Amino acid sequence: GRGGWTWYTGSAGWMYQAGLEWILGLRRRGNRLYLKPCIPEEWPEYTVHYQYGQTSYEIKVENPNRKQTGGTVLELDGTRLEKVEDGIPLINDGLPHRVRLIL
């Protein structure tokens, strides 16, 4: 690339991180993934495919009540987790996992 265009690469990285963490709400802290979306109420749902080592997580966020934020139900592989705010444990077991968050 040209020396005068180098800032574009950094901007793209920051935009990606802002979208993933602050709009879609995926925030990794250590070996846990927290889901705190802040989305337009018009979005009925979205899905994110998240890779952790050799393990893939399919994360589906459903928005039946047209909320902008605040999860009410969090499930990992069909099992309801006790507290949404505790996030999900990330395990590098090489198996596919499904996560469901209902706003």
CB contact at 8 A, 28 and 90:
yes
Question: How would you classify the pairing of strands 55-62 and 97-102?
Answer: parallel
Rounded to two decimals, the pTM is 0.87
pLDDT for the residue 74: 98
pLDDT for the residue 14: 82
User: Domains along the chain?
Assistant: 3-102 (2.60.420.10)
Mean pLDDT (10-residue bins), the chain, 103 residues: 59 83 95 97 98 98 96 97 96 98 98
pLDDT for the residue 15: 83
pLDDT for the residue 12: 75
pLDDT for the residue 3: 56
Burial letters 72-90, b for 16+ CB under 10 A, else e: eebebeeeebeebeebbeb
pLDDT for the residue 7: 56
